[in-house]
Structure 1
Amino acid sequence: MDDLDRWVQEGYELTDPADPARTAAILSHLSGFAAYIFPFGGIIAALVVWLVKRDSHPFADRQGKEALNFQISISIYTIVSAILIIVGVGIVLLPLVFLFHVVLMIMAAIQASNGKGFEYPGTLRLVK
């Protein structure tokens, strides 16, 4: 059992609003908006935040990995949706992927700001 598992089982939450781990988690989740600025920006930004903050606190590490996995998954879903435009399905699917991306990032950032962890649904857990 790692430190975070013990921490969660004990019901511990980040109660200090200025806690750096909380801030790192929020940044990890919101870093996905970089995908709308440059290609694969969400993955790169989430990776950078996670690599810089992962050793600072188990909460920052876990939420950083969660955000990175989500950005990788969304990139895959976006590419597949773009390809499916050829057969018409992607015309409906692509906007839904974008909506899913934005809504879940905001939900995750709100949870992190409350000091609680967030697990994205439909995420491939590639980074462990």
Structure 2
Amino acid sequence: MDENQTETPAEPEDRETRNWAMALHLSLLSGLVVPLAGLIVPVVIYLIKKDSLPGLVPHGHVVFNWIVSALIYAVVSLVLVVVGIGILLLAALALLSIVFPIIGGIKATEGEVWGYPLSIRFFK
């Protein structure tokens, strides 16, 4: 950027979208405090804000894809506990379920929609 150009601040709606997108990603972590809140809070945020902030929709799809994917991975891991490897898979899933929402929230504040790796795409 040269000396004559200045960076314009984000539009208020864009800033609001980024803030709510970050909240949507980080709301997955609410399940660490209150059981099942990590499933309910993101849905509530999405349903309340999706019409007024259309930029939130792709973030909602990313979050919902991860919720469904994580549930599938958890069930498969629980079945594999019998073999012994399921415990390691559950530990890895727990770690990823903390790390991915944090990264997604950071990327959302930067205006980027970050698809969680290992997430199965149910919602496009």
Q: What TM-score range do you get, normalising by the shorter chain? A: 0.7 to 0.9
Are the equivalent residues in 2 in contact too, given 1:59–1:117 (CA < 8 A)?
Answer: no
Q: Secondary structure at the match of 1:59?
A: helix
Q: Look up the match of 1:15.
A: 10
Q: Percent identity?
A: 34
Q: Following superposition, which runs of at least 4 residues in structure 1 exceed 4 angstroms of deviation?
A: none
**Letter matched to residue 114 of structure 1:** E
Per-residue CA deviation, residues 83-126 of structure 1 (Å, 9 max, x unaligned), is: 21111011111111111111111110000111221111221222
1:53 to 41, 49, 74: 49
After the TM superposition, which residues 1-128 of structure 1 pair with which residues of structure 2 at under 5 Å, given as runs? 15-16=10-11, 19-128=15-124
Count of residues paired in the alignment: 115
Are the equivalent residues in 2 in contact too, given 1:50–1:65 (CA < 8 A)?
Answer: no
Larger radius of gyration: 2
TM-score (norm 2): 0.80
Q: Look up the match of 1:7.
A: none
Q: Secondary structure at the match of 1:121?
A: coil
Deviation, 1:38, is: 4.4
Per-residue CA deviation, residues 30-89 of structure 1 (Å, 9 max, x unaligned), is: 111123244443222211111111112232111122112212211221222122111101
**Letter matched to residue 32 of structure 1:** L
Structure 2 unpaired stretches of 5+: 1-8
